[in-house]
């Protein structure tokens, strides 16, 4: 399937240094058309190297999301209508029963402390192991609204570390909105500052997600729009859905998730020329399967 690339323009974004800019090819005809239509020259398509970099960034975003999803499911999978104090008491009891390896206590009437222990991540939460601690505070910003604030420093899981804050609110149709500002420490010693805003719900065992991510690397700023994701919480990338990644090199790369295959979860990437196919193994390894 050939994917069409849509360019976005955001006047609020900063301009990258000239050495990071993608060369633009402008013919006389294009220049004439530019003058006539007050348009601009069309950038070169993204290279395979840049496309693979975008897939690698996606995998690292997935590492952060997997930790966040586990914590959100552990602490906010409940009826949000009771008072903040009642929510805190319910979470304290449910976490203590579900995760006996964790030390669970109340900091005050509306705040729960969860300590998975120090050192290696050996305390299991579902299919993941954790080390470190977090605190969950419940509040009532409006008479009918409830807010859960999840804070953690140096929380470790499956070789990745996460530091930051998530804010969770409940919506209709059993949806939850998760707004986070975190720093991910990856297994290969990268540090990535991430901001995200997602609407999610669990349906028939799959996590359905829509929203956006913004993050900073040494190359510059990245953006990702998530549309129609359906993801097994244990998989590194979704089975279905679209990711539109805006790279620091002023390209949009469209990733179409097409489900499992022998090598891993398949995705088709397009940076403006043709589809390039990848598979992502369960451990996050990226297998390049070439052009379609």
Model pTM greater than 0.75?
A: yes
- DSSP bridge partners of 217: 220
Which residue, among 205, 238, 239, has the nearest Cα to 65 in the 3D structure? Answer: 238
User: Mind listing the pLDDT tens digit for each residue in 230-274?
Assistant: 988 778 899 999 999 999 999 999 999 999 999 999 999 999 989
Rounded to whole angstroms, the Cα distance separating 47 from 103 reads 49
Q: Distances in Å between the alpha carbon of 123 and those of 66, 100, 129?
A: 16, 9, 5
Binned at pLDDT 50, 70 and 90, residue 35 comes out as: very low
Which residue, among 57, 61, 42, 25, has the nearest Cα to 247 in the 3D structure? Answer: 57
Alpha helix positions (H), 77-136:
84-98
Cβ–Cβ under 8 Å, residues 263 and 39: no
Length of the chain as a residue count: 292
Assess whether pLDDT exceeds 70 at residue 23: no
Question: DSSP string of 57-86?
Answer: HHHHHHHHHHHHHHHHHHHH-S---S-HHH
């Amino acid at each position: 399937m050939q994917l069409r690339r849509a360019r976005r323009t955001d006047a609020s974004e900063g301009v990258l240094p000239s050495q990071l800019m993608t060369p633009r090819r402008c013919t006389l005809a294009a220049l004439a058309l530019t003058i006539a239509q007050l348009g601009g020259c069309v950038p070169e398509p993204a290279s395979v190297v840049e496309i693979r970099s975008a897939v690698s960034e996606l995998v690292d975003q997935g590492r952060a999301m997997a930790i966040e999803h586990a914590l959100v499911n552990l602490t906010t999978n409940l009826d949000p209508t009771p008072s903040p104090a009642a929510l805190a008491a319910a979470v304290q009891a449910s976490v203590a029963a579900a995760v006996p390896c964790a030390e669970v206590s109340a900091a005050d009437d509306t705040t729960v402390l969860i300590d998975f222990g120090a050192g290696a991540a050996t305390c299991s939460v579902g299919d993941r192991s954790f080390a470190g601690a977090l605190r969950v505070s419940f509040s009532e910003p409006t008479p009918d609204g409830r807010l859960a604030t999840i804070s953690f420093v140096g929380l470790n899981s499956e070789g990745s570390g996460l530091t930051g804050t998530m804010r969770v609110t409940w919506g209709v149709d059993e949806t939850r909105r998760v707004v986070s500002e975190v720093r991910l420490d990856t297994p290969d010693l990268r540090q990535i500052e991430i901001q995200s805003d997602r609407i999610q719900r669990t349906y028939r065992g799959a996590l359905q997600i829509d929203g956006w991510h913004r993050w900073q690397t040494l190359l510059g700023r990245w953006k990702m729009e998530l549309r129609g994701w359906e993801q097994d919480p244990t998989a590194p990338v979704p089975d279905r859905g679209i990711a539109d990644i805006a790279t620091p090199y002023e390209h949009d790369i469209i990733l179409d998730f097409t489900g499992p295959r022998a090598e891993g979860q398949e995705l088709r990437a397009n940076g403006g020329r043709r589809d390039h196919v990848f598979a992502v193994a369960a451990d996050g390894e990226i297998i390049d399967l070439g052009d379609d």
